[in-house]
Chain A
Amino acid sequence: MLTRRTLSGLIAGALGAAAVGGCNRKRLPPGHISLWFSYGGRNRKVLLELVKQFHREQHAVRVVPTFQGDYFEGLTKLRTGLYVEQAPTVTHVIGEALPYLAEAQVLEPLEDIGSEVIDDLVPALSQAGTFVGGGDRPLVGLPFNRSTPVAYYNKSIFRQLGLRPPKTWAELRSAARSACLRDSERTTRFGFSCPVDWWFWVAMVGQAGGEVVAPNGEVTLGDQAGVRALRLWQTMVHDERSMKPPPGRDYNAWEAANNDFLAGRVAMIWTSTAFLRYLEDNAPFAVGTAPLPSQQRAAVPTGGTFFVVPKGARPEERTAAMTFLRWMMAPAQANAWATRTGYMTVSKRGRAKLAQDGFFAQHPNDRVTVDQLKHARPWPWATQLLRIQREAVQPRLEAAVLARRDAATVLDEARKSLEGV
């Protein structure tokens, strides 16, 4: 019979066990490491195939991959995991989050991956080239799925209308107007579409000659360049009705832009190089890529994520993680990932091998993305970068573009929103 004392003992025991259990990091079997990832669809399949290949090639380290939603959901889970000491052994985070996590001192330094790996990284895609002064700081992120925005156009429509990919903002407006199809007042095909998203706005700020954060650390949001970027979108959406702002937020809008392009509802889109293979394989027409147009200069931000090793792993887990990362960064794997997804290979030797094997001659769209890299502009190493993106700029872009609020006022509000708590 269950006495009161027994019951009290059971409750106390359960609470005690829960308390003790809650304090301990979940242990994986020896030789196993956890990998949290945020790749969906095709990219997820490619990653899982690479993990399987890694397991076939060696038996000392087993990787346990777990899908954690999109980049921002993954970042949230990482942060929560760090707080409750249940972070994964390896994960990947967007570039904008790297300075924030590094300065919070929750990432392991990765220099011991070895100079063979570090020296082989494509400079513009590595931590050193992605951030202003990124090479002067401890190495905490290894690039893997790196990208830039690129213009995709429907070759059939462009050929039919005698258009060429735009090289300037003026040409972009002109091409977008020409590619529109209207049925009385209704637009049945838009010339251009692009997620009303921070990443593309940063690209335009750079093209208009501005910087989001000044070299002295002041958050300028590009000043007049930021305003000009927003005004270009406003003009194309409202005055010329040649740009379709895709519905939804964050990656929902990106997916909507892709779908509109594939369905022929839009003649040209800006999106990530990450979708190159997906768009090529699924479009019922020939897909062309082109560098983003210039205004005062050619400029694109880099995107995608870096592999990181959160603090808290046991030494043997960390060693296993480095084995896995060293294998993933090798030219063969970096190329396998890049050629099957559309992300850019992060290995210099890998890129040379692709050129030597004639890959770029056979895939001119990939060549465009690689050539555009010389115009990549580094991000500031600012702990505020993630906040500037998520809180100050991103939520206000919609108001500026869809509701046509004054661009200068919107950016002024964005700057002020960063003040205080």
Chain B
Amino acid sequence: MSEASLAPVRARHPYLLLLPTALVLGVFFIYPVAVALYRSFFAWDLLTDPQFVGTAHYSRLLAQGAVAGLVSRTLAYSLVVVLGAGSLGLLLAVLLNRPGRLYAFVRGSIFSAYIVSWVAVALLWLWILDPDAGVLSRAATGLGLGRIDWLGDPDLALYSLAGVSVWKITGYAMVIFLAGLQDIPKSVLEAAALDGATAWRRFWHVTWPLLRPTTVFVGTTSLIMSFQAFDIVRVMTQGGPIESTTVFVYAIYEQVFMNLRVGRASALTMVFFVFLLVLTAFQLWLWRRFSGRRTMGGS
């Protein structure tokens, strides 16, 4: 096919084709970000006239260490969710990657948690984690671990929430890993077996390298889900105790909807935006690196 045949009939056609996407992106993403940036330079409560305050909101957020606290809490939560859901999902996928109705039933059961709404999951786990009457607390007491206040202990609450998120999205990670596993040619594994490789060596030297792009995908999507954590915080801890579960999205909600601080919430949104940009760049780098290896390994 010649180069000329790829040229558009009219010069404006490519732009017209791009227009719907550009419109959606512009209206729902770029415009709101621009508005948030503009509002972040004002003190405004929606009722009285906005007052220009320059970069005061940013100075305040940085000076009080609020941003550092939010970043560390959000990252800690995300790390547990991504690593927990990823590793459990992979383990379950490897164990359940077999034919048969029983395995299908178990796979379906595990995945079912993923399709339940976050609010329902949060309410369910509020009961399970109740320090006095909850199933998990009673089990811990039975094992001699004493009374554990899963959601009331500031050192534990964030990890309890992360644990609930892991429970919910592990099914999702498992399904993606199952798809990845079923994409690996059986001949490669059979060849390794014929060469005398043990099950562990087959996994480590064949399956795992070929699953890397899937792993990066699961990691990326789990990370996105973990950064969107809101419902679970709102229902289970409301950001407490002592701010220990106030992650970024919840902090933005708290500022705008509870404290009536539109400007401060907008500044926080912009900081979160930059934070996500940096993380996205890092992920892109990871994606390219591991996708590249896979191509080399598979060729």
Residues of A within 8 A of B (CB): 72-73, 76, 79-80, 82-83, 101, 104, 106, 186, 245, 247-250, 252, 265, 386-387, 390-391, 395, 398-399, 402-403, 420-421
Contacts and interface: CB of A to CB of B under 8 A. Distances in A.
A78 to B, nearest CB: 10
Contacts of B147: 186
A402 B238 contact: no
Contacts of B263: 421
B131 interface: yes
Nearest to B235: A252
Contacts of B132: 265
A403 B242 CA distance: 8
Nearest to B141: A186
A420 B239 contact: no
Contacts of A245: 152
Given A76-B258, A247-B131, 8 more contacts: A82-B46, A82-B47, A104-B48, A247-B151, A248-B240, A249-B237, A249-B238, A420-B60
Contacts of B264: 421
Bin chain B's interface residue count. Answer: 20 to 34
Contact of A402 (B51, B131, B154): B154
Chain B binding surface SS class: loop
A265 B261 CA distance: 39
Interface of B: 43, 45-48, 51, 53, 56-57, 60, 131-132, 146-147, 149, 151-152, 154, 237-243, 257-261, 263-264
A249 B239 contact: yes
Given A76-B257, A402-B154, A247 B48 contact: no
A421 B57 contact: yes
A230 to B, nearest CB: 14
B56 A421 contact: yes
B46 A83 contact: yes
Given A76-B258, A390-B258, A83 B56 contact: no
Contacts of B46: 79-80, 82-83
Nearest to A80: B46
A250 B238 contact: yes
Contacts of A249: 237-241
Contacts of B242: 398-399, 402-403
Contacts of B260: 76, 79, 386
A399 B243 CA distance: 9
B259 A421 contact: no
A248 to B, nearest CB: 6
Contacts of A421: 43, 51, 53, 56-57, 60, 263-264
Given A79-B45, A247-B149, A391 B239 contact: no
